[in-house]
Structure 1
Amino acid sequence: MPATVIVDALWGDSGKGKTCAYLSRRDDAALAVRAGIGTNAGASVTLDDGTEIRARQLPTGWLNPGTRVAVGSGVLVDPTVFADEVARFGLADRAMVDRRCAVITPEHIEREKADDHLIKVVGTTGTGTGPARSDFVLRKAKQARDLDELRPYLGDVAAEANRIAADPGQLVIIEGSQGTLLSLALSDDYPYTTSGNCTSAAAINDVGLNWQHLTEVIMVVKALPSRVGEGPLPYELSAGEAERRGIAEYGVVTGRPRRKAGAIDYDLLEYSASLNGPTSIALTFCDHLDPAVRGRRTADAVSDRVRRVIADVERATGAPVTLLDTGPRLDDVIIWTM
């Protein structure tokens, strides 16, 4: 089990963090690495005791006690956010940041919040990732190795990921961020995109993983898609309808309401699959599609409505659905083999 990539098929907020945490525990992953842009996207996981875990910098794989966590060199690091998560989750002896990561500074955050185009037109999160990425491309940004406070955590994440992935008895999980259809160079929705690509190939590039180690691409498909910020959302529901159905959601980073769709656009899903090459699908938020499956954990509980969507997703992606997310708790998951 050398390396698995978890990638979002659509516009993000699909449960990649929960999927990473679940697989890290199930498969006892040796290392989980965060890919993506930076701290502009978050993950939330609810434990069975009701404790909610929210993270923006580190992957959620640490919920398995034997899994180390790291930030890939292509990911922007905010030292304040990194330090907060290391402290909150007790990860001082298990966290690593690649020494080559570009750094988000308070000045980057101020620049983004003051940029009317980014905030009002694009609808960015105001976390400084756009300006920091711009400075990195222009070779003006600081790197993690330049900051004393990050020194205890510095390492070569690419070398470590490839070393572990070369051992057939160990597993590396790469947790992507945001969603394929927010990719800077691949989305037709520009400028309503993020500042980089969010595909499986982009994720292994962010980490520096040798492609020959990649054995699985799990594409996460949200049963009722959502989108934060501006840009088109096919089959969009009104905010009132989402509230009426009890499926309203709010962003981990900003707290903004997520725009909700009433169905999947299968043409877009097929396009996303062509970009990512999934080997399997995790179908998430099935309880938003059919409340009857909420919290269920056995295959016999899967309703006909969910089964129809499984079949449609498999036709569009050419990959089998193997995981069903049925509720907010970490173990609200069904292993699907039919």
Structure 2
Amino acid sequence: MANVVVVGSQWGDEGKGKIVDWLSERADVVVRYQGGHNAGHTLVVGETVYKLSLLPSGIVREGTLSLIGNGVVIDPHHLVKEIATLESQGVSITPERLRIADNATLILSLHRELDGMRESAATQTGTKIGTTGRGIGPAYEDKVGRRAIRVMDLANPATLPAKVDRLLAHHNALRRGLEASEIQPQTILDELLQVADKVTPFIDRVWQVLDDHRAKGSRILFEGAQGALLDIDHGTYPFVTSSNTVAGQASTGSGIGPGGIDYVLGITKAYTTRVGEGPFPTEQLNEVGQHLGEKGHEFGVVTGRKRRCGWFDAVLVRQTVKTSGITGIALTKLDVLDGMDELMICTGYEVDGEVVDYLPASQGQQARAKPIYTRMEGWSDTTAGARSWADLPAQAVKYVRQVEELIGAPVALLSTSPQRDDTILVHDPFKD
């Protein structure tokens, strides 16, 4: 049995929820390995819809262990709220079903406030990042600045005052510069102690738990947030998230070691979307973009923000196949393209008069990249609900085969509707 990493191959919102849910039903352990509560999964199990933004997708499955790894930044108040919401839907969440890495970093109210103040202060064109304002970036800054409050600290209240003083020495200096009032240590201490007893029962050494399950031959599924093109190193910097989102982070963000990863499944939308600021070469600010957004219901699970929409960009996905070591892809939302007379696929860019087959790292060159398209005939029949290749229109099959050829990776799963059973399985990632 293989251990599988699921990674979004574009800018996120590729429909990971359905695929992860489909896989998590057959996994023994599901691990969240990066990000925070700034992205979400929508899971549909039977007649019940679950909206998750921090908890791993396995949490709604009886008999599946869910782990939050050290690579995640955790807002403890949001965690408690999300647990309460799921419990109100009949999901029992106990330490037997959920473990949280003792060395994961906490998001505090001061992180959210700093996030918002910075975005508000970014008044010049092109300086806004387009964050969700949930404190993700500032929390990661404190992590690498070695002043963060971590999950394990909640279990040791006596050590908190000194840690909070060290943290505020940095943050109050920032707040003075932003003309904001300083924060008193007791405010942060009260904030932490208010939820400590609700979080501490779940604390564990996640790396050890994973090693034990790997030794037993358990099937382990690793899930992240956002997409690979929002990676802090390999994405469209600076319009990215504050963590590594490529598949390699599954190892670093959980502690399993790279040898524990067997298969990387890239979730890939049949067109392209992104939320927030930043370059988007194939964006369609016209009736095509409007059609894709309306038919694809392109609004964020967590924020409700409208997504920008455009044609499929094979250059970007091909690059992600390489930077994440993608073994195969799960192609989603093919049905959104039903009824379109003509489809376009980006196969390269023209940048400053030169044709390139990659996305440049330069912010300026990314903004100047002009897509080079190949045209394909669309199809009038529906793909919605198809569960075999024979159910697909011939032109839809041609489109899928063209995508495979251009990105250099095969389709392992093909999703034809939000319903979990409307999936064409070509290769089972758990049987690598």
Normalised by the length of structure 2, the TM-score is 0.72
Match of 1:122 in 2: 129
Which of 67, 71, 76 lines up with 2:64 in the alignment?
67
Match of 1:40 in 2: 38
Match of 2:313 in 1: 265
> For residues 29 and 248 of structure 1, do their structure 2 counterparts lie closer, same or farther at Cα, with a shift above 3 Å needed?
closer
Match of 2:240 in 1: 193
Match of 1:30 in 2: 28
Match of 2:398 in 1: 308
Which of 74, 77, 81 lines up with 2:78 in the alignment?
81
Is the partner of 1:62 in helix, strand or coil?
A: helix
Match of 2:185 in 1: none
Identity %: 34
Indicate conservation of the 8 Å contact 2:105/2:143, yes or no: yes
Count of residues in correspondence between the two structures: 331
Indicate conservation of the 8 Å contact 2:116/2:133, yes or no: yes
Is the partner of 1:14 in helix, strand or coil?
A: coil
- In 1, distance between residues paired with 2:389 and 2:50? 27
Q: Is it true that 1:281 corresponds to 2:329 in the alignment?
A: yes
- In 1, distance between residues paired with 2:327 and 2:261? 11
- In 2, distance between residues paired with 1:154 and 1:135? 21
Match of 2:281 in 1: 234
- In 1, distance between residues paired with 2:78 and 2:324? 29
Q: Which amino acid aligns with 1:320?
A: P
Which of 160, 172, 189 lines up with 2:209 in the alignment?
160
Is the partner of 1:231 in helix, strand or coil?
A: coil
- In 1, distance between residues paired with 2:9 and 2:153? 35
- In 2, distance between residues paired with 1:62 and 1:39? 15
- Greater relative contact order structure (CA < 8 Å, 6+ sep): 1
- In 1, distance between residues paired with 2:411 and 2:77? 38
Moved more, 285-294 or 210-219: 285-294
- In 1, distance between residues paired with 2:241 and 2:18? 22
Is the partner of 1:194 in helix, strand or coil?
A: coil
Indicate conservation of the 8 Å contact 1:299/1:334, yes or no: yes
Indicate conservation of the 8 Å contact 1:17/1:175, yes or no: no
Indicate conservation of the 8 Å contact 1:48/1:330, yes or no: no
Is the partner of 1:176 in helix, strand or coil?
A: strand
Unmatched tracts of structure 2, length 5 or more: 155-195, 340-381, 428-432
1:302 Cα deviation from its structure 2 partner: 2.1
Q: Which amino acid aligns with 1:30?
A: D
Indicate conservation of the 8 Å contact 2:335/2:384, yes or no: yes
Q: Is it true that 1:8 corresponds to 2:5 in the alignment?
A: no
Q: Is it true that 1:144 corresponds to 2:144 in the alignment?
A: no
Indicate conservation of the 8 Å contact 1:43/1:55, yes or no: yes
Q: Is it true that 1:205 corresponds to 2:252 in the alignment?
A: yes
1:232 Cα deviation from its structure 2 partner: 1.5
Q: Which amino acid aligns with 1:331?
A: D
Normalised by the length of structure 1, the TM-score is 0.92
> For residues 239 and 126 of structure 1, do their structure 2 counterparts lie closer, same or farther at Cα, with a shift above 3 Å needed?
farther
1:306 Cα deviation from its structure 2 partner: 2.9
1:320 Cα deviation from its structure 2 partner: 1.9
Q: Which amino acid aligns with 1:83?
A: V
- Give the RMSD, CA atoms, in angstroms: 1.9
- In 2, distance between residues paired with 1:306 and 1:166? 43
1:118 Cα deviation from its structure 2 partner: 7.0
Note the alpha carbon deviations across 1:253-300, whole angstroms, 9 max, x for none.
211001111x22112221111111112110011111226112333332
> For residues 35 and 304 of structure 1, do their structure 2 counterparts lie closer, same or farther at Cα, with a shift above 3 Å needed?
farther
- In 2, distance between residues paired with 1:327 and 1:303? 15
Is the partner of 1:278 in helix, strand or coil?
A: coil
Q: Which amino acid aligns with 2:137?
A: G
- In 2, distance between residues paired with 1:47 and 1:243? 30
